[in-house]
């Protein structure tokens, strides 16, 4: 197996994730897209680690998984709160930080 | 010399107000009586400590720093905590500790809207720490810190307790001075790096400049930075526009402190830092400083003539008066700088008084429009006479303090220091003399319109208009007495400043050779300079001197 | 060997500046004299209202003691002066060693000879390493002024207790009269120019306060302001002049920075050690001060307006004392003026010209006044011009003598006019006076004495002092007498013309006030004793003061009684320049008397004969001829040359009066005064305000402020643009993030 295929997969996943983050208006879907991006990165990390037989890559991937879990937890909580307050999770309508 | 104050006296004077402010923070806002009392007691305590400083001050050696504290402070940049007082700072220290309690007394029963005495008094006390610290600091970084500490309380005082246009005025004040301080800081740092100095202490700085042969161009630039920083604070002619706005909008007490002490920080900086450290550059800049000073004198006076608002007129007169102070400084002679310090003290007392009066007039008439006022002498005769007295003092009537700031400044401009163009300064002298005529013009005009005549109909039967109240008397009497006392016996100030000024100018005279600054050497220097004073002692019968 | 000291040495011995610090107790402690009224000022200010007589008793007591001290000082001075037997010419410069002993050219050391002026100084303050002193310089002129000021001031205080009785600011009035007396006394004993400057401005401020005494009316406060501001213009000259002299002395003496000492400045100037140019500049600057303070043309316009103050103020400040401060200052710094303006030369100098011109202008203006006080005010201007002219031609003693006599008769006249106005409640001679000689006999008699003294008829005071001035011009070689410093023929002519004019306008004034029928309202009556007694004392002095300086040439009295005033008052010390003394001759005296009589005769003919006749015909008291010839201008100008010509007599009679009262000269002069000069003053003020307004609105508010606001605006604008980026939308941020990452990645690929 070549490294290329993994990298290609990860690139596709990453692109899908970016598209999701930028294009979707639903907060939950944006969070899921972020997960996609993170997993694309994970694939990269793991595949490089396997090819070069270096453990730290895999360890790092584990960290990413853990942080991603936390992030999703916080993110979903926020989306939930948003929904509770505004009955709506359309991100384009949330601009409280506008200058 | 050993005594009680060594080591802690000046620190106590500087930080007591801060302590008082901290205590006030702990007391709930509603206990107004307690706040007033604490603030007054604190400021009186500071005044008392300063009085002790005066008592134990060796008036025979005013050129020496007294009660010096020298502790390491910020090791990383060799900045030290050095406080000391000599003949130049002493009069200004005393002026500060006098004005602050009087301001607190004055506001005793009438805090400006939106009241909140706690915050107001805390700001005054913080301000006092900053002002005292600036006059006592003997280290550039320490000086800078105190110089900046002053800024914020004044900003809030104007922005919160000010008049209708307070936002604009306070921002203008803040930005202007901040801009100046930034340049000043750059100058300080440039000095530090160019001299490769081991310390920021003033006295060593001057030697370092000579010892490290800092290039003339660099000195000129550094002086220029300080010039902007101090000049804005003074304020000198093109940088003065923050002053009328700040004064007009500030609450009475704020105006008084601003006029009496804050403006002096700039001129003090020139005398204490810029000129002794960079005497060469000072000679180069002197004609320009002198030019801006006389423009300020005439310009300020013309500005006064155009005013319709009493407080704004007084504010503009500050520009003119500080012009005289700067003219004295620009001559770079000990005579001129003595005159400048005298002018600073006199202006502090007189213009401070005028702002007090303007505040009291505003409180009674609810307006300061000159065209609407009139007949103050009929309705409040004592206040009217005090006003007349202060106007006379302000226009430089001999026998009152203002004269001793103006006349010697004009006199010194006839004969500036070596290297300063004489003809230019003689022209300045004549123009400055013209300024005294204009000063009489606008002050008497103001006096005539507001104090003479019969009261206008709208105020004729106003029960609100009463004569000077008791708190006003308490707040004003010391200032009035001092204006008169200094006017009759100017040696009260000159006697303190003379030797110190002489010593601080010593590097100006011997700038070619690196100088080992021990006391004997400094004194020797001043003796060479003052032949006139010497022969006087042995030949009194010939009625020399004058 | 110390520095060089300048000494004035007589041929017989050396005399250190002619100044000593030892001497009679009174001579050393003259500072007490100004101190007393100063204390009374403080006393009246704080306790006046609680005293039974509102504080006036304090002022009178202080001045009474001060007068006593002045008299003692004067007597002490006279014996002190008589003890001095040195020659009266003694100008040279010698060096002394450090002990103050003089090393005269012969080589032996001489201790100070009996010195003349007495100084007593203390250190006032020190600055720039120089010690500045304050103190007293007691010599002839100072002693004379002390006596004159305390005496006149005391009399006027007494007078005022009646005159301003019941005034709303009675106490305040006396407080400031005291302060004024103190300042004036301080001025005359000043030891140095700085002290002089201080006192000079203090008298100015007292004048301001007292002119504006009734400040409720706008006119009064306007007059006060005008007086103060005009004086301030002159003070500018004083400040500059004093400064120039301070450093000139410093430059002449290498061991000192500068000096304000009057004695030293004069001595250096007289001995030629100060550069002439410097002295000229200083003298011109100081002349500006004199012109404002002593009402010289063209800075005199404030003085008539100053009559807005209460009459005692006019008498004391604006006639007898303060306005002569300028004359006194010239006399004090005579060394400077004498050298600076080259008075000993024969060409006309600034001072003589200003004085001469003023004296004529003032006299012409006095004709057209309706207000009795204004007549006297213009007369004062004219007489001050006389004194300045006298100083300008070098007749120092004559000027001081005239100052001395003038104080008495002019104060007498002013107080008399006050007494009249007290009775008729007006100052308007034409509408409210007339015929008062019957109801106010004391006022009438004293006023007549004052008028004759002013006009200068022998043997009253004015005659003697005026004639000495005329002699001092030295232009009358044909009539005997010895000449003065130069031949100032023009000044002699001016003086003579003025003498005639003075006589004429005083005749007019007396007629309008005291003769004819009463034209006012109510029943006028004589004033009380507190007014008439001072009047009589002053009138008595106006009668006899002239005998103080009987001229040498006349041989009327033994030599020991001749020129006593000159002997005691004129300094003989080294600080006084070498003036040449002139003596009047019989012929001069007779000519000047005739001139005065002619002036009186012409005016009397017009008023006492023709106007009186017309009044009788008309059945009412007239003040002018109903159809009098009014525009015989040319005749008026040529007046004194046509005296002998009978053909022109008629024209002449009316001519002088007409020329004076209504003629274009006077009218033009008055119009110039009111419109050109006053307008100019107003115009300068208005221009200054306008300029101020332009500067303030156009430059300050727009340019300077605009720049500041502009820089703020730039940051606001840029902020406005930048804030669009901060949309608050997460996805926009993310887009930027990714875009930036892409760009960075691209860069990474391209460059690395």
Chains that contact B by 3+ CB pairs under 8 Å?
A: C
Contacts of C730 in chain A (CB under 8 A): 30, 91, 94
Is B263 within the bounds of a domain?
yes
Residue B531: which residues within 8 A CB-CB, separation 6 or more?
A: C3, C254, C255, C256, C257
CB atoms closer than 10 angstroms to residue B93: 23
Instruction: With CB atoms and an 8 Å threshold, state whether B452 touches C212.
Output: yes
Question: Of C221, C228, C250, which has the smallest distance from its Cβ to B440's Cβ?
Answer: C228
Task: Identify which has the larger pLDDT, A35 or B540.
Answer: A35
pTM of the model: 0.79
Q: Are residues C461 and C572 in the same domain?
A: yes
Rounded to an integer, the average pLDDT of C387-391 is 89
Instruction: With CB atoms and an 8 Å threshold, state whether C236 touches B434.
Output: yes
Q: Are residues C447 and C576 in the same domain?
A: yes
d(Cα C535, Cα C541) in Å, to the nearest integer? 10
Is C129 within the bounds of a domain?
no
pLDDT of residue C241: 92
- Gap from C730 CA to chain A (nearest CA, Å): 7
Q: C205 CB near a chain B CB, below 8 Å?
A: yes
Q: Give yes or no for a contact between B365 and B304, defined as CB atoms under 8 angstroms apart.
A: no
* Strand arrangement, sheet containing C109-110: C95-96, C102-103, C109-110
Rounded to an integer, the average pLDDT of C425-452 is 85
For residue A64, what are the domain limits?
3-93
Instruction: With CB atoms and an 8 Å threshold, state whether C127 touches B172.
Output: no
* Nearest-by-CA chain A residue for C724: A99
Q: State pLDDT tens for residues C501-534.
A: 898 888 888 888 888 888 878 788 888 888 889 8
Rounded to an integer, the average pLDDT of C283-296 is 89
Instruction: With CB atoms and an 8 Å threshold, state whether C738 touches A95.
Output: no
Q: Are residues C411 and C519 in the same domain?
A: yes
Q: What is the DSSP string of C119-132?
A: EEEEEEEEETTEEE
Is B546 within the bounds of a domain?
no
Contacts of A98 in chain C (CB under 8 A): 726-729
Is C304 within the bounds of a domain?
no
Q: Are residues C565 and C503 in the same domain?
A: yes
Contacts of C733 in chain A (CB under 8 A): none
Contact exists between B and A (3 or more beta carbon pairs < 8 Å) = no
* Strand arrangement, sheet containing C130-138: C19-20, C117-127, C130-138
Count structural domains, chain A.
Answer: 1
Instruction: With CB atoms and an 8 Å threshold, state whether C731 touches A99.
Output: no
Q: State pLDDT tens for residues B258-303.
A: 999 999 999 999 999 888 888 888 888 999 999 999 988 888 887 7
Q: C241 CB near a chain B CB, below 8 Å?
A: no
User: Does pLDDT of B521 surpass 70?
Assistant: no
- Gap from B36 CA to chain C (nearest CA, Å): 32
CB atoms closer than 10 angstroms to residue C108: 9
Q: C247 CB near a chain A CB, below 8 Å?
A: no
Q: Give yes or no for a contact between B103 and B94, defined as CB atoms under 8 angstroms apart.
A: no
d(Cα C355, Cα C361) in Å, to the nearest integer? 10
Token pair for residue C60? 């009178």
Token pair for residue C700? 């300050």
Rounded to an integer, the average pLDDT of C214-224 is 83
- Gap from C725 CA to chain A (nearest CA, Å): 8
Q: C261 CB near a chain B CB, below 8 Å?
A: yes
Is B531 within the bounds of a domain?
no
Q: C594 CB near a chain B CB, below 8 Å?
A: no
Q: Are residues C522 and C633 in the same domain?
A: no
pLDDT of residue B399: 86
Contacts of C244 in chain B (CB under 8 A): 414
Please state whether the peptide bond connecting residue B114 to the residue before it is cis, i.e. omega within 30 degrees of 0. yes
pLDDT of residue B103: 92
Q: C729 CB near a chain A CB, below 8 Å?
A: yes
DSSP state at residue C681? H
d(Cα C221, Cα C234) in Å, to the nearest integer? 20
Is A99 within the bounds of a domain?
no
Residue C469: which residues within 8 A CB-CB, separation 6 or more?
A: C386, C387, C389, C390, C395, C398, C399, C402, C495
pLDDT of residue C631: 42
**3-class DSSP assignment, residue C9:** strand
Count structural domains, chain B.
Answer: 1
Mean pLDDT of all residues in chain A? 88
Count of CA atoms in the C-beta half-sphere (13 A) of B282: 27
Contacts of B491 in chain C (CB under 8 A): 123-126
Q: What is the DSSP string of C342-384?
A: TTTSSS--HHHHHHHHHHHHHHHHHHT-SBHHHHHHHHHHHHH
- Gap from A97 CA to chain C (nearest CA, Å): 4
d(Cα C187, Cα C141) in Å, to the nearest integer? 12
Longest distance between any two alpha carbons in chain B, whole Å: 72
Q: Most confidently modeled of B54-63, B323-332, C623-632?
A: B323-332
Which strand (E) or helix (H) includes residue C394? none
User: Does pLDDT of C693 surpass 90?
Assistant: no
* Nearest-by-CA chain C residue for A98: C728
Is B518 within the bounds of a domain?
no
C8-12, C69-73, C719-723: segment of lowest average pLDDT? C8-12
Q: State pLDDT tens for residues B150-180.
A: 988 999 999 888 888 888 788 778 878 888 8
Q: Most confidently modeled of B37-46, B235-244, C206-215, C564-573?
A: B37-46
For residue B264, what are the domain limits?
9-509
Q: Give yes or no for a contact between B158 and B254, defined as CB atoms under 8 angstroms apart.
A: yes
Token pair for residue C204? 């100015």
Q: What is the DSSP string of B129-197?
A: HHHHHHHHB-BHHHHHHHHHHTHHHHHHHHHHH--TTHHHHHHHHHHHHHHHHHHHHHHHHHHHHHHT-
Q: State pLDDT tens for residues C190-203.
A: 988 999 999 999 99
Give the C window 681-710 contacts with B, CB below 8 Å: 685, 688-689, 691-693, 695-697, 700, 704-705, 708
What count of residues does chain C have? 752
Is A82 within the bounds of a domain?
yes
- Would you place residue C23 in the very low, low, confident or very high pLDDT band (cuts 50, 70, 90)? low
Rounded to an integer, the average pLDDT of C403-430 is 87
For residue C635, what are the domain limits?
627-662
- Rounded to whole angstroms, what are the CA distances from C636 to C500, C645, C665? 12, 14, 9
Rounded to an integer, the average pLDDT of A37-64 is 91
Is B487 within the bounds of a domain?
yes
Contacts of C211 in chain B (CB under 8 A): none
pLDDT of residue B41: 93
Instruction: With CB atoms and an 8 Å threshold, state whether B546 touches C688.
Output: no
Instruction: With CB atoms and an 8 Å threshold, state whether A98 touches C734.
Output: no
Q: Give yes or no for a contact between B400 and B393, defined as CB atoms under 8 angstroms apart.
A: yes
ipTM over 0.90: no
Task: Identify which has the larger pLDDT, B57 or C630.
Answer: B57
Question: Quick one: how far is CA C117 from the chain centroid?
Answer: 24
Is C689 within the bounds of a domain?
yes
Q: Are residues C459 and C488 in the same domain?
A: yes
Percent of chain C whose predicted confidence (pLDDT) is above 90: 10
Q: Are residues C633 and C595 in the same domain?
A: no
Contacts of C735 in chain A (CB under 8 A): 22
Count structural domains, chain C.
Answer: 3
Q: C721 CB near a chain A CB, below 8 Å?
A: no
d(Cα B390, Cα B481) in Å, to the nearest integer? 11
Number of helices and strands (H, E) in chain B? 25, 2
Contacts of C724 in chain A (CB under 8 A): 99
Q: Nearest to residue C551, comparing CAs of C485, C454, C468?
A: C468
C14, C93, C127: which to substitute to probe chain B, counting the most B Cβ within 10 Å? C127
Domain harbouring A77, CATH code: 1.10.287.3510
- Gap from C22 CA to chain B (nearest CA, Å): 10
Q: Give yes or no for a contact between B208 and B195, defined as CB atoms under 8 angstroms apart.
A: yes
Percent of chain B whose predicted confidence (pLDDT) is above 70: 92
Instruction: With CB atoms and an 8 Å threshold, state whether C726 touches A98.
Output: yes
- Rounded to whole angstroms, what are the CA distances from C734 to A37, B489, C41, C727? 13, 75, 85, 12
Token pair for residue B107? 């506001």
Contacts of B532 in chain C (CB under 8 A): 129-130, 250, 255-259
Task: Identify which has the larger pLDDT, C620 or B453.
Answer: B453
* Nearest-by-CA chain C residue for B379: C216
Q: C730 CB near a chain A CB, below 8 Å?
A: yes
Is C126 within the bounds of a domain?
no
Q: State pLDDT tens for residues B438-476.
A: 888 888 888 888 888 888 888 877 777 888 888 889 999
Mean pLDDT of all residues in chain C? 77
Q: Which residues pair with B80 in a beta bridge?
A: B72
Q: Please classify residue C135 by burial: count the beta carbons closer than 10 Å to its beta carbon, then call 0-12 exposed, 13-18 middle and 19+ buried.
A: buried
Rounded to an integer, the average pLDDT of C225-233 is 83
d(Cα C323, Cα C378) in Å, to the nearest integer? 12
Token pair for residue C730? 């997460």
Instruction: With CB atoms and an 8 Å threshold, state whether B532 touches C255.
Output: yes
Contact exists between C and A (3 or more beta carbon pairs < 8 Å) = yes
Rounded to an integer, the average pLDDT of B237-241 is 79
Is A98 within the bounds of a domain?
no
Q: Are residues C603 and C704 in the same domain?
A: no
Q: State pLDDT tens for residues C703-713.
A: 777 777 777 77
pLDDT of residue C723: 72
Instruction: With CB atoms and an 8 Å threshold, state whether C728 touches A96.
Output: yes
For chain A, helix, strand, coil in percent to 5 are 85, 0, 15
Question: Of C727, C735, C738, which has the smallest distance from its Cβ to A95's Cβ?
Answer: C727
Contacts of C126 in chain B (CB under 8 A): 491, 494-495, 498, 533
């Amino acid at each position: 197996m070549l490294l290329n295929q993994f990298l290609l997969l990860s690139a596709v996943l990453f692109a899908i994730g970016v598209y999701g983050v930028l294009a979707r208006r639903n907060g939950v879907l944006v969070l899921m897209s972020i997960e996609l991006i993170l997993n694309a990165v994970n694939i990269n990390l793991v595949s490089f680690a396997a090819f070069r037989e270096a453990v730290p890559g895999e360890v790092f991937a584990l960290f990413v998984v853990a942080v991603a879990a936390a992030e999703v937890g916080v993110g979903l909580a926020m989306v939930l709160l948003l929904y509770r307050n505004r009955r709506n999770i359309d991100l384009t309508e949330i601009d409280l930080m506008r200058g | 010399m050993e005594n009680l104050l060594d080591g802690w006296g000046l620190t106590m004077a500087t930080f007591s107000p801060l302590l008082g402010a901290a205590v006030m923070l702990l007391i709930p806002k509603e206990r107004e009586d307690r706040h007033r009392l604490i603030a007054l007691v604190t400021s009186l305590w500071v005044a008392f400590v300063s009085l002790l400083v005066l008592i134990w001050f060796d008036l025979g050696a005013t050129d020496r720093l007294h009660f010096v504290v020298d502790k390491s402070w910020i090791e990383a940049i060799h900045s030290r905590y050095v406080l000391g007082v000599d003949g130049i700072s002493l009069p200004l220290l005393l002026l500060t500790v006098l004005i602050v309690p009087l301001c607190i007394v004055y506001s005793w029963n009438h805090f400006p809207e939106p009241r909140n005495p706690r915050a107001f008094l805390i700001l005054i006390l913080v301000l006092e720490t900053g002002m005292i610290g600036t006059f006592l600091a003997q280290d550039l970084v320490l000086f800078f810190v105190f110089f900046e500490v002053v800024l914020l309380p004044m900003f809030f005082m104007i922005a919160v307790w000010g008049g209708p246009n307070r936002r604009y005025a306070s921002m203008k004040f803040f930005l202007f001075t901040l801009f100046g301080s930034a340049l000043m800081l750059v100058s300080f740092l440039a000095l530090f790096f160019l001299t490769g100095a081991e310390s920021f202490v003033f006295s060593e700085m001057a030697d370092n400049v000579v010892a490290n042969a800092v290039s003339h161009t660099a000195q000129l630039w550094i002086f220029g930075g300080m010039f902007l920083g101090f000049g804005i604070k003074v304020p000198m002619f093109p940088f003065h526009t923050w002053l009328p706005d700040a004064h007009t909008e500030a609450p009475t007490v704020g105006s008084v402190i601003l006029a009496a002490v804050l403006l002096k920080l700039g001129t003090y900086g020139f005398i204490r830092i810029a000129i002794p450290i960079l005497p060469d550059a000072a000679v180069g800049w002197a004609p320009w400083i002198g030019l801006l000073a006389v423009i300020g004198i005439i310009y300020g006076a013309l500005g006064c003539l155009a005013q319709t608002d009493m407080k704004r007129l007084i504010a503009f007169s500050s520009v003119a008066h500080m012009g005289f102070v700067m003219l004295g400084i620009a001559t770079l002679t000990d005579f001129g700088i003595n005159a400048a310090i005298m002018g600073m003290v006199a202006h502090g007392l007189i213009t401070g008084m005028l702002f007090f009066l303007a505040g009291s007039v505003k409180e009674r008439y609810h307006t300061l429009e000159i065209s609407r006022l009139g007949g103050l002498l009929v309705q409040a005769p004592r206040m009217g006479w005090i006003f007349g007295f202060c106007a006379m003092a302000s226009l430089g009537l001999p026998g009152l303090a203002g004269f001793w700031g103006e006349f010697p400044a004009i006199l010194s401009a006839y004969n500036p220091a070596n290297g300063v163009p004489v003809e230019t300064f003689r022209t300045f002298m004549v123009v400055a003399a013209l300024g005294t005529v204009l000063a009489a013009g606008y002050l008497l005009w103001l006096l005539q319109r507001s104090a003479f005549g019969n009261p206008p109909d709208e105020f004729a039967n106003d029960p609100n208009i009463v004569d000077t109240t008791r708190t006003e008397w308490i707040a004003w009497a010391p200032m009035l007495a001092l204006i008169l006392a200094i006017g009759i016996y100017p040696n009260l100030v000159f006697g303190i400043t003379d030797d110190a000024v002489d010593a601080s100018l010593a590097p100006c005279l011997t700038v070619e050779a690196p100088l080992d600054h021990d006391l004997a050497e400094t004194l020797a220097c001043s003796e060479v300079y003052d032949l006139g004073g010497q022969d006087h002692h042995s030949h009194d019968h010939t009625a020399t001197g004058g | 060997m110390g520095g060089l000291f300048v000494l004035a040495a007589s041929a017989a011995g050396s005399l250190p500046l002619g100044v000593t610090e030892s001497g009679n107790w009174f001579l050393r402690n003259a500072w007490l004299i100004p101190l007393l009224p100063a204390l009374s000022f403080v006393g009246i200010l704080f306790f006046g209202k609680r005293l039974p007589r509102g504080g006036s008793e304090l002022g009178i007591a202080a001045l009474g003691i001060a007068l006593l001290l002045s008299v003692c000082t004067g007597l002490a001075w006279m014996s002190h002066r008589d003890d001095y037997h040195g020659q009266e010419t003694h100008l040279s410069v010698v060096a002394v060693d450090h002990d103050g002993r003089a090393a005269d050219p012969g080589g032996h050391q001489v201790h100070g000879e009996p010195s003349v002026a007495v100084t007593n100084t203390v250190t006032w303050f020190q600055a720039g390493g120089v010690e500045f002193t304050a103190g007293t310089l007691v010599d002839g002129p100072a002693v004379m002024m002390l006596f004159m000021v305390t005496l006149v001031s005391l009399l006027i205080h007494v007078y005022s207790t009646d005159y301003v009785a019941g005034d709303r600011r009675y106490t305040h009035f006396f407080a400031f009269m005291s302060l004024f007396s103190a300042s004036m006394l301080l001025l005359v004993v000043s030891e140095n120019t700085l002290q002089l400057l201080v006192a000079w401005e203090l008298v100015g401020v007292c004048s301001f306060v007292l002119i504006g005494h009734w400040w409720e009316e706008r006119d009064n406060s306007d007059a006060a302001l005008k007086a103060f501001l005009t004086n301030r213009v002159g003070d500018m000259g004083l400040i500059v002049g004093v400064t120039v002299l301070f450093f000139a002395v410093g430059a002449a003496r290498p061991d000192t920075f500068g000096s304000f000492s009057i004695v030293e400045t004069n001595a250096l100037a007289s001995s030629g050690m100060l550069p002439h140019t410097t002295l000229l500049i200083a003298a011109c600057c100081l002349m500006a001060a004199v012109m404002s303070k002593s009402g010289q043309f063209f800075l005199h316009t404030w003085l008539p307006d100053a009559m807005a103050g209460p009459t005692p103020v006019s008498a004391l400040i604006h006639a007898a004392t303060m306005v002569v401060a300028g004359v006194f200052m010239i006399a004090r710094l005579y060394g400077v003026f004498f050298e600076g303006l080259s008075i000993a030369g024969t060409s006309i100098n600034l001072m003589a010209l200003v004085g001469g011109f003023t004296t004529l202008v003032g006299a012409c203006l006095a004709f057209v006044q309706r207000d009795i006080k204004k007549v006297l005010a213009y007369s004062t201007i004219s007489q001050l011009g006389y004194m300045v002219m006298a100083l300008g031609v070098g007749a120092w003693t004559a000027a001081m003598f005239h100052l001395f006599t003038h104080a008495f008769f002019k104060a007498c006249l002013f107080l008399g006019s006050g007494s009249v106005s007290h009775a008729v409640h007006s100052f308007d001679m034409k509408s409210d006076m007339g015929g008062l000689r019957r109801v106010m006999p004391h006022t009438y008699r004293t006023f007549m004495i004052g008028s004759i003294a002013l006009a200068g008829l022998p043997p009253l005071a004015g005659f003697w002092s005026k004639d000495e001035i005329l002699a001092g011009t030295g232009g009358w070689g044909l009539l005997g007498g010895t000449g003065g410093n130069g031949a100032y023929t023009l000044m002699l002519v001016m003086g003579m013309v003025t003498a005639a004019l003075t006589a004429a306008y005083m005749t007019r004034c007396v007629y309008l006030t005291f003769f004819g029928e009463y034209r006012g309202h109510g029943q006028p009556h004589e004033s009380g004793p507190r007014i008439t007694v001072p009047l009589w004392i002053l009138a008595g002095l106006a009668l006899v003061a002239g005998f103080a300086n009987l001229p040498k040439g006349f041989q009327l009295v033994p030599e020991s009684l001749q020129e006593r005033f000159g002997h005691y008052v004129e300094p003989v010390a080294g600080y006084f320049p070498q003036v040449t003394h002139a003596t009047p001759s019989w012929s001069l005296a007779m000519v000047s008397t005739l001139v005065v009589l002619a002036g009186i005769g012409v005016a009397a003919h017009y008023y006492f004969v023709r106007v009186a006749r017309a009044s009788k015909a008309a059945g009412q008291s007239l003040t002018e001829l109903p159809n009098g010839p009014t525009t015989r201008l040319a005749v008026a100008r040529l007046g004194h040359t046509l005296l002998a010509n009978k053909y022109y007599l008629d024209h002449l009679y009316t001519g002088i009066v007409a020329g004076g009262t209504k003629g274009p000269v006077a009218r033009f002069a008055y119009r110039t005064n009111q419109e050109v000069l006053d307008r100019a003053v107003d115009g300068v003020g208005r221009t200054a305000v306008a300029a101020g307004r332009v500067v303030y609105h156009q430059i300050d508010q727009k340019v300077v402020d605009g720049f500041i606001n502009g820089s703020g605006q730039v940051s606001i604008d840029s902020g406005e643009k930048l804030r669009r980026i901060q949309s608050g939308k997460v996805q926009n941020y993310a887009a930027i993030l990714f875009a930036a990452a892409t760009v960075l990645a691209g860069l990474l690929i391209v460059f690395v």
